[in-house]
């Protein structure tokens, strides 16, 4: 009998373990700022593999549950969460995960720094990143559309670093009638004695332990009539509990039994006259809440790359420890080839997500050199692209990375299978891949975003002077020319064809922009590894739009 026991994968300081993030920050940030940020990230990187990871593990092992009644039969609808979940709330406030974005003490770099911190936090947060995403989106919404009362009230709670004052927010958009198409929303808002009250069912509400929420409802006129479709929807702010901590005319029907994100309480709610406050204009609810979900979509991209990095780190460490067929996995060509491919894909997604975070910062705090219009349009254009591109590519990579642990990757208490379950949500919530591909078309039609993308590409390519990047640059240029041809051709294409190609279009844009960002990183950071990664990525097929086939329906249903 052998006394062999396999050593499992281990983590160390996750900031110290990240040369790509370090290189990016030193390329972007002024020296003094970099010093301040590095000090903070080094400390945080340690916490993420010690106390914060322990809170996360506690929250994952003790999922929330609903207590609907007290021992004497009174309805209480209390969601019980673990100690770890509560501690993660405190950590989030103390570390300023949302606050950094609104203190803006790093000027145009505030969002880049904030999202770098979220990227580090997410894989040790048991999805506390989800309420934080909605909290940030709600803060942004109040900043843009809120009145004085919200700005001096809720906004201060959402953006504080004081754990005892900190609030999180929900974003209740989904109803039984539709998650993607919210125009079918059935919740109504009635004006009763000068106060709006909401009646309806919210079918998928994440982090229902939050203090407040932003939600959509259809205002009833004095005859009880409403306007149909999304033009009839308005946005409302509500607080879940009264001053005594009792839910305000909200019943929690049940918690969802989801595939993953087990620590995160997600509920079905019945609204029975919840007092609510109108935010923005009547009938502009979808447009107004877009401010919120455009922020959560950037969270989605940055947390996705955080999750991807964590699994890469574990797989990398395991490859050095696991032997098979006479050698450790890190010496086996096929295993190496797989991991190298995933690392290149990861770095492409990493740069795309961080690029969008940087755009958000530049949009909010423009410097004298910022081309404000271009930044605004690029942000609108790349937000759905970064979300769909990172989430889908990560999901494909997750399957490979889980497999790279062999049978151990299929066993729950190694902690590996959870990534497969959790990462799947990142392609679904905040807009599925298809819905976001169509949103890219919306941004082109409404904002003329493609023209600004083309200017950005040409400007960035012109700055690549390293001769070793010449061939890669040419490949990107070729793919980009094809993309431009497609964008022009779309004007005359039947809508059916434009929509059928929307996903390949979005991924091709994602490929081209990621390639450019990798080349830029190689050009500026000047490390051999970044040069090789950029060259390798550019060898892949960047333009992936296929010919339109009219027989899809027949193939599926015929
Ligand atoms: C760890 C990461 C954590 C992430 C947090 C997860 C929390 C989970 C919570 C949820 O999952 S909440 C559910 C999320 N649901 C969605 O994201 C909805 C997905 N569906 C869409 O995005 C649809 O495209 C949409 C609902 C927007 C379609 O609605 P409409 O009403 O059919 O769209 P329409 O009529 O084209 O647009 C209405 C207005 O909004 C237009 O403006 P105008 O009134 O000026 O014409 C649009 O331009 C504007 N709009 C739409 N999408 C926009 C936008 N504006 C800016 N950005 C956008 N993305």
Q: Are 199 and 271 in contact (CB under 8 A)?
A: yes
Q: What is the mean pLDDT of each run of 10 residues along the chain (558 residues)?
A: 91 94 97 98 97 97 96 95 98 98 97 98 98 98 98 98 98 93 95 97 92 97 92 97 94 96 97 98 97 98 98 97 96 97 98 98 94 96 98 98 97 96 97 98 94 96 93 97 97 96 98 98 95 97 95 91
Residue minimizing CA distance to atom 28 of ligand 1: 181
In angstroms, the CA 345 to CA 379 distance is 22
pLDDT confidence of residue 536: 98
Structural tokens at position 274: 């919840």
Closest Cα partner for 395 from 345, 353, 442?
A: 345
Atom of ligand 1 nearest to the CA of 172: 12
Query: Which H or E run includes 389?
Result: helix 372-403
In angstroms, the CA 136 to CA 327 distance is 48
CA distances from 287 to 182, 363, 410, 523 (A): 12, 18, 43, 39
Residue minimizing CA distance to atom 22 of ligand 1: 431
Domain ranges of the chain: 169-285, 448-557
Digit-coded pLDDT (tens) for 437-470:
999 999 999 998 999 999 999 999 999 988 999 9
In angstroms, the CA 214 to CA 150 distance is 12
pLDDT confidence of residue 178: 86
pLDDT confidence of residue 459: 96
In angstroms, the CA 486 to CA 483 distance is 5
Structural tokens at position 36: 């301040």
Indicate the angle between helix axes 372-403 and 333-364, nearest 10 degrees. 150
- What's the distance, Cα to Cα, between the start and end of the chain in Å? 59
Residue minimizing CA distance to atom 47 of ligand 1: 287
Query: Which H or E run includes 268?
Result: strand 266-279
CA of 304 to the centre of ligand 1 (A): 20
Query: Which H or E run includes 327?
Result: strand 327-328
Pocket test for ligand 1, best of 126, 176, 182, 216 (most atoms within 8 A of CB): 182
pLDDT confidence of residue 207: 80
CA distances from 426 to 131, 173, 301, 460 (A): 14, 17, 8, 30
Q: Are 117 and 95 in contact (CB under 8 A)?
A: yes
What is the pairing mode between strands 212-219 and 188-192?
parallel
Residue 234 DSSP SS3: strand
pLDDT confidence of residue 40: 98
pLDDT confidence of residue 208: 85
Q: Are 42 and 13 in contact (CB under 8 A)?
A: yes
Query: Which H or E run includes 196?
Result: strand 195-206
Closest Cα partner for 65 from 226, 266, 212?
A: 266
* Sign of the torsion angle spanned by Cα atoms 324, 328, 330, 333: negative
In angstroms, the CA 298 to CA 400 distance is 25
Question: For 309, how many CA atoms within 13 A lie in the half-sphere containing its CB?
Answer: 30
Residue minimizing CA distance to atom 48 of ligand 1: 287
In angstroms, the CA 402 to CA 415 distance is 10
Please give the mean pLDDT across all residues of the chain.
Answer: 96
pLDDT confidence of residue 2: 86
Residue minimizing CA distance to atom 15 of ligand 1: 430
Burial class (CB in 10 A: 0-12, 13-18, 19+), 279: buried
Digit-coded pLDDT (tens) for 24-73:
999 999 999 999 999 999 999 999 999 999 999 999 999 999 999 999 99
What is the pairing mode between strands 327-328 and 233-239?
unpaired
May I ask the CATH architecture of the domain 169-285? Beta Barrel (2.40)
Residues with CB under 6 A from ligand 1: 129-130, 133-134, 171, 173-174, 180, 182-183, 206, 230, 286-287, 290, 293-294, 296, 299-300, 303, 429-431, 435, 439, 442, 446
Atom of ligand 1 nearest to the CA of 231: 31
In angstroms, the CA 131 to CA 136 distance is 9
Question: For 523, how many CA atoms within 13 A lie in the half-sphere containing its CB?
Answer: 18
Residue minimizing CA distance to atom 11 of ligand 1: 429
* Global model pTM greater than 0.95: yes
In the beta sheet, which residues pair with residue 279?
Answer: 235
Atom of ligand 1 nearest to the CA of 384: 59
DSSP conformation class of 75: E
Closest Cα partner for 314 from 537, 116, 17?
A: 17
pLDDT confidence of residue 273: 98
Residue minimizing CA distance to atom 25 of ligand 1: 181
Q: Are 309 and 350 in contact (CB under 8 A)?
A: yes
In angstroms, the CA 353 to CA 333 distance is 30
CA of 458 to the centre of ligand 1 (A): 30
Q: Are 249 and 274 in contact (CB under 8 A)?
A: yes
Residue minimizing CA distance to atom 49 of ligand 1: 287
CB contact burial 293-306 (16+ within 10 A = b; e otherwise): bbbbbbbbbbbbbb
In the beta sheet, which residues pair with residue 6?
Answer: none
Closest Cα partner for 6 from 323, 360, 461?
A: 323
CB contact burial 432-463 (16+ within 10 A = b; e otherwise): bbeebbbbbbebbeebebbebbeebbeebbee
Closest Cα partner for 247 from 275, 282, 283?
A: 275
CB contact burial 137-158 (16+ within 10 A = b; e otherwise): bbbbbbbebbeeebeebbbbbb
């Amino acid at each position: 009998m052998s006394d062999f026991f396999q050593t499992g994968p281990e983590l160390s300081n996750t900031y110290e373990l990240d040369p790509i993030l370090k290189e990016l920050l030193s390329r972007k940030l002024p020296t003094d700022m970099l010093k301040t940020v590095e000090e903070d990230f080094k400390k945080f990187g340690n916490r993420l593999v010690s106390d914060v990871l322990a809170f996360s593990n506690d929250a994952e092992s003790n999922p929330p549950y609903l207590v609907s009644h007290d021992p004497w039969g009174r309805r209480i609808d209390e969601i019980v969460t673990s100690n770890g979940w509560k501690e993660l709330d405190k950590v989030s406030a103390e570390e300023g995960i949302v606050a950094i974005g609104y203190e803006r003490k790093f000027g145009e770099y505030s969002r880049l720094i904030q999202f770098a911190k979220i990227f580090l936090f997410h894989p040790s947060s048991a999805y506390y990143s989800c309420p934080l995403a909605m909290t940030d989106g709600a803060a942004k919404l109040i900043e843009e559309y809120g009145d004085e009362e919200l700005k001096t009230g809720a906004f201060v709670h959402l953006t504080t670093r004081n754990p005892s004052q900190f609030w999180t927010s929900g974003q209740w958009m989904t109803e039984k009638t539709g998650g993607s198409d919210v125009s079918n929303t059935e919740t109504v808002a009635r004006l009763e004695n000068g106060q709006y009250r909401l009646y309806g069912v919210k079918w998928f509400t994440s982090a229902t332990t939050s203090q407040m929420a932003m939600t959509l409802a259809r205002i009833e006129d004095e005859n009880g009539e409403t306007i149909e479709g999304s033009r009839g929807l308005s946005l409302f702010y509500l607080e879940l509990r009264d001053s005594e901590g009792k839910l305000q005319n909200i019943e929690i029907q049940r918690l969802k039994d989801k595939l993953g994100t087990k620590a995160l309480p997600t509920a079905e709610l019945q609204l029975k006259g919840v007092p609510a406050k109108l935010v923005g204009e009547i009938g502009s609810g979808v447009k107004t809440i877009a401010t919120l979900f455009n922020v959560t979509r950037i969270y989605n991209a940055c947390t996705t790359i955080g999750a991807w990095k964590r699994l890469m780190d574990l797989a990398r460490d395991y490859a050095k420890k696991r032997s098979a067929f006479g050698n450790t996995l890190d010496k086996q060509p096929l295993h190496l080839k797989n991991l190298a491919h995933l690392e290149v894909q990861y770095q492409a997604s990493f740069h795309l997500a961080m690029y969008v975070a940087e755009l958000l910062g530049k949009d909010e705090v423009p410097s004298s050199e910022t081309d404000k219009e271009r930044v605004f349009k690029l942000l609108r254009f790349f937000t759905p692209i970064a979300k769909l591109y990172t989430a889908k590519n990560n999901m494909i990579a997750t399957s490979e990375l889980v497999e790279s642990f062999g049978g151990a990757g299929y066993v729950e208490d190694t902690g590996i299978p959870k990534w497969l379950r959790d990462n799947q949500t990142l392609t679904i919530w905040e807009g599925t891949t298809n819905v976001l591909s169509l949103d890219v078309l919306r941004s082109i039609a409404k904002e003329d975003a493609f023209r600004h993308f083309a200017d950005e590409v040409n400007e960035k390519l012109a700055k690549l002077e390293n001769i070793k990047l010449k061939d890669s640059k040419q490949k990107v240029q070729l793919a980009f020319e094809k993309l431009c041809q497609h964008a022009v051709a779309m004007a005359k294409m039947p809508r059916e064809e434009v929509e059928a190609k929307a996903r390949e279009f979005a991924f091709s844009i994602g490929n081209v922009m990621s390639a450019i960002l990798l080349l830029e990183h190689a050009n500026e950071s000047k490390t051999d590894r970044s040069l090789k990664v950029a060259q390798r990525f550019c060898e892949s097929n960047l333009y992936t739009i296929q010919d339109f086939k009219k027989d899809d329906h027949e193939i599926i249903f015929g």
